[in-house]
């Protein structure tokens, strides 16, 4: 049995310091940490900031209603809950979280990491982590953001279904060794809170540039699937809201909620 996650190990690896009011829950099994966060918010049991980890999920959710494969004790599955300032664009939060996640992994994985719009962290061109942002709005209360993060840490090739195995990877698969999940969790939490503190102060502009630096270069050919629409074009970076700019034969399109394949 691999070492279980525990709060003191996570905190030992969180520098700079986390918000003193942050509550950290570690559950053995849950349907989805994002769903559990929604329940805790609606029952007003735990005010933000809050982070919920689970050792396994029975109904881990990905973007666009996809399943997030969540084998027990191998990977990291967590949801953060924070309050948002009144002027905020949901899409930007996912991009900021992606930057924080990639930067927290860089000291352990100096090469091969890349961001893919809107919510993927790739390692050697395969998906190693994903982000699912959900907004909770209640009249008269500040908006709350639930930001779910799945990081494939120590899953082996057999832990992925056949459909995923050529698209997804883990740190262990790429480096043939086990990684310390608490270290990764601690580093990520520290990076997340410092990125969001800066984002709430400075706005999105510096992060837009950073994000572009961690993604494929401008000019990359992409194919886009947005609802019923499918088209190809040339990637032109992000616009100032954080949407993806794609030049097509008929003009520039903004991708707001689609799926993008790079390097076609
Ligand atoms: C994606 O890439 O489509 C997003 C994946 C997000 C997965 C995480 S695992 C923890 C949290 N709980 C969930 O049910 N989903 C997110």
| Ligand 1 atom nearest to 59, measured from its CA | 14
- Give Rg (Cα) of the chain: 18
| Ligand 1 atom nearest to 60, measured from its CA | 14
Lookup result for tokens 């270290």: 183
111 touches 78 (CB < 8 A): no
**Residue 233 CA, ligand 1 centroid: distance in Å:** 28
Sign, Cα dihedral of 113, 117, 120, 125: negative
Q: What is the reported pTM?
A: 0.96
DSSP string over 178-234? ---HHHHHHHHHHHHHHHHHHHHHH-SHHHHHHHHHHSPPTT-EEEEEETTEEEEEE
Half-sphere exposure of 147 (CA within 13 A, CB side): 30
Residue with the nearest Cα to atom 7 of ligand 1? 150
Ligand 1, CB cutoff 6 Å, lining residues: 32-34, 57, 60-63, 66, 68, 77-79, 119-120, 130-132, 148-150
**Residue 251 CA, ligand 1 centroid: distance in Å:** 34
| Ligand 1 atom nearest to 64, measured from its CA | 3
Closest CA to 28 of 75, 67, 73: 73
Cα→Cα distances 248→194, 216, 238, 240, 259, Å? 37, 18, 15, 19, 16
Cα→Cα distances 101→1, 69, 131, 262, Å? 26, 19, 9, 20
Closest CA to 116 of 71, 167, 177, 187: 167
**Residue 36 CA, ligand 1 centroid: distance in Å:** 12
**Residue 249 CA, ligand 1 centroid: distance in Å:** 35
Hey, what are 152's tokens? 């494939």
Total length of the chain: 264
Cα→Cα distances 56→2, 71, 252, Å? 13, 6, 42
| Tens digit of pLDDT at every position of the chain (264 positions) | 888 999 999 999 998 889 999 999 999 999 999 999 999 998 887 899 999 999 999 999 999 889 999 999 999 999 999 999 987 888 899 999 999 999 999 999 999 999 999 999 999 999 999 999 999 998 888 899 999 999 999 999 999 888 888 899 999 999 999 999 999 999 999 999 999 999 999 999 999 999 999 999 999 999 999 988 999 999 999 999 999 999 999 999 999 988 999 865
């Amino acid at each position: 049995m691999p070492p279980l996650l525990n709060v003191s190990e996570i905190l030992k690896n969180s520098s700079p310091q986390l918000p003193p009011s942050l509550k950290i829950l570690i559950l053995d099994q849950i349907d989805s940490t994002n769903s559990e966060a929604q329940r805790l918010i609606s029952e007003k049991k735990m005010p933000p900031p809050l982070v919920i980890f689970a050792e396994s999920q029975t109904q881990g959710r990905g973007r666009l209603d996809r399943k997030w494969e969540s084998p027990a004790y191998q990977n990291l599955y967590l949801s953060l809950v924070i309050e948002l300032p009144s002027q905020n664009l949901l899409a930007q939060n996912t991009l900021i979280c992606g930057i924080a996640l990639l930067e927290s992994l860089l000291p352990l994985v100096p090469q091969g990491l890349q961001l893919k719009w809107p919510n993927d962290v790739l390692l050697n061109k395969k998906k190693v982590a994903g982000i699912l942002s959900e907004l909770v709005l209640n009249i008269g209360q500040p908006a709350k953001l639930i930001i779910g993060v799945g990081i494939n840490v120590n899953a082996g090739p057999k832990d992925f279904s056949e459909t995923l195995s050529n698209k997804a990877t883990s740190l262990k698969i790429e480096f043939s060794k086990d990684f310390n999940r608490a270290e990764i969790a601690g580093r990520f939490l520290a990076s997340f809170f410092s990125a969001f503190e800066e984002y709430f102060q400075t706005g999105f502009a510096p992060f837009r540039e950073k994000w572009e630096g961690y993604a494929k270069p401008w000019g990359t050919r992409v194919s886009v699937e947005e609802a019923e629409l499918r088209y190809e074009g040339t990637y032109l970076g992000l616009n100032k809201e954080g949407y993806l700019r794609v030049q097509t034969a008929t003009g520039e399109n903004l991708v707001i909620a689609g799926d993008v394949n790079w390097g076609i």
